[in-house]
Amino acid sequence: MKKAIAFISLTAAIVASSQASAVTITLACGAVGQELQLCREGAARWAKKTGNTVKIFESPNLTNDRLGLYQQQLAAKSSDIDVYQLDVVWPGLLSQHFVDLKGKVPTNEINAHFKGIIDANTVNGKLVALPWFTDAGLLYYRTDLLKKYGFSAAPKTWTEMALMAKKIQDGEQKTNKAFAGYVWQGKNYEGLTCDAMEWLVSFGGGTIVDAKGNITINNAQAAKALDTAASWVKSISPAGVTTYDEEAARGIFQAGNAAFMRNWPYAWALGQGADSKVKGKIGVAPLPSGGSRNAATLGGWQLGVSSYSKNQAAAIDLVRYLAGPAEQKIRAIEGAYNPTLQSLYKDKDVLAKNPFFGSLYNVFTSAVARPSGPTKSKYNQVSQAFSSAVSDVLSGKSKGQAAVTKLATDIARIKGRGW
């Protein structure tokens, strides 16, 4: 009896103290597509449950810009932002600024996520962040147009895709001047690195830098991959494709002005929205093969707690909640954000809303990681050198072979004394 009373009063004391110390957590989330709205809603649910307050910090759309901003905050050891949304290639760059979640989050909760993504978030044994959603490049296509022009299935190879896109584009341009065969991310930024990695791997051209840190970009298959992509510009893709990011490509596809689009899974839910002109006419397939394999670049975002946060316990709780199954399920259903929890790929509600999650499960689990692991803190420089070289090939300033030869020198220069 005494024990029970002690227990009750202790619990009451804990509850009271936790209520008394309701805190304000600042969460930095992205604003691509529905991200911001879903982030706001998820944070509000946690706030309601715990009695704390969450402030949302809006970050720039482009991942490079976001990183610049975060680095300034972190270098200044600012406590303004408690929880950061981190790109899958950042843990190596930023690990020293984040709380080690190992030991602070129960092991079974960590193990419920895909192992590959947990590995990507682990730097020297430290778990920098918890996976929130994963991403892989997908090929979106217009089912109605494929049918109209006599195609029965999505293309399997890039050659096939280019032929289909050309035929549809030529037909549609008779009535719609702005129609394009294929839209993708050609602007010189991290998104181009993702797109071009897919071409490289699908042609068997390696991953720029291999797992051991050797520079492997200078090879004939990589050159061929880049030349192939360059041949799309101004033939099946508009000249301006080299200024498009995710949202620009989505805007064109969703307005009904493109037959094919390369984008991340988030574009699905928006394409099926009430204001979409292509609602009910979208098909999703793995990106075509260049002869070697179908390849998708691994993307995705994680949530990490800043070491400079003044309310780390509450911040960790928020991260656990947002990365947890209930929240990931809501995000999968409402925004087609791919869960990082294996169990949700068998969930009926999720599959009903996103039928391609089940059929393209392999695309998500076999996605290719960018070389952020081996290149460590110099990843950004490597990625920029790569995307700039690709950009030169796309705009016709150089040819594939010349570009990869020069790129190998540039990357050697960045590597300098070692990664």
Partner 1 sequence: MTVQTTAPARPTRTRGIEAARARQAIWLLLPTLIAIALVAGYPLYRTFYFSLFEANLTSPEQRTFLGLGNFWFTTEDGIALGFLQDPKWWGAVKNTLLFTVVSVFLETVFGMIIALVVNSAFKGRALLRTAMLVPWAIPTVVSAQMWAYLYNDSFGLIGRGILGGQAVLANTDTAIWALVAVDVWKTTSFMALLILAGLQSLPGDMYEAADMDGASKWTQFWKLTLPLLRPALLVALVFRSLDALRVFDVMSVMLGNVNAAATSMTGYARQALIDNQLLGLGSAVSVAVFLIIMVIVVMYVTAFRVKFD
Which residue among 6, 13, 44, 239 contacts partner 1 (CB under 8 A)?
239
Which residue among 24, 37, 78, 96 contacts partner 1 (CB under 8 A)?
96
Note whether 387 binds partner 1 by CB under 8 A.
yes
Are the C-beta atoms of residues 117 and 337 closer than 8 Å to each other?
A: no
Least Cα distance to 132 among 1, 265, 304 occurs for 304
Note whether 94 binds partner 1 by CB under 8 A.
yes
Return the range that interacts with partner 1 (CB under 8 A); candidates 49-57, 98-106, 161-169, 409-417: 409-417
Which residue among 27, 62, 208, 261 contacts partner 1 (CB under 8 A)?
62
Report how far residue 118's alpha carbon sits from residue 58's, in angstroms, rounded to the nearest whole number: 26
Sign, Cα dihedral of 286, 289, 294, 295: negative
Q: Which residues of 237-259 are buried (b: 16+ CB within 10 A; e: fewer)?
A: bbeebbebbbbbbbebbbebbbb
| Identity of the residue numbered 104 | K
User: In the window 154-213, what residues touch partner 1 (CB under 8 A)?
Assistant: 177-178, 180, 186-189
Note whether 240 binds partner 1 by CB under 8 A.
yes
- Closer to partner 1 by Cβ: residue 11 or 377: 377
- Closer to partner 1 by Cβ: residue 72 or 343: 72
Are the C-beta atoms of residues 266 and 34 closer than 8 Å to each other?
A: yes
Alpha-carbon dihedral angle through residues 71, 59, 133, 93, given to the nearest 10 degrees: -10
264 backbone φψ class: left, alpha, beta (φ>0; ψ -120 to 50): beta
Distance separating the N- and C-terminal Cα atoms of the chain: 63
Return the range that interacts with partner 1 (CB under 8 A); candidates 10-18, 69-77, 151-159, 361-369: 69-77
Which residue among 2, 174, 348, 417 contacts partner 1 (CB under 8 A)?
417
Beta-carbon contacts of 72 under 8 Å, excluding residues fewer than 6 positions away, are none
Note whether 388 binds partner 1 by CB under 8 A.
yes
User: In the window 291-320, what residues touch partner 1 (CB under 8 A)?
Assistant: none
Q: Are strands 126-127 and 122-123 parallel, antiparallel or unpaired?
A: antiparallel
Note whether 375 binds partner 1 by CB under 8 A.
no
Note whether 80 binds partner 1 by CB under 8 A.
no
Note whether 277 binds partner 1 by CB under 8 A.
no
Residues that bind partner 1 (CB under 8 A): 62, 64-65, 67-68, 71-72, 74-75, 93-94, 96-97, 177-178, 180, 186-189, 238-243, 252, 257, 377-378, 380-381, 384, 387-388, 391, 395, 397, 412-413, 416-417
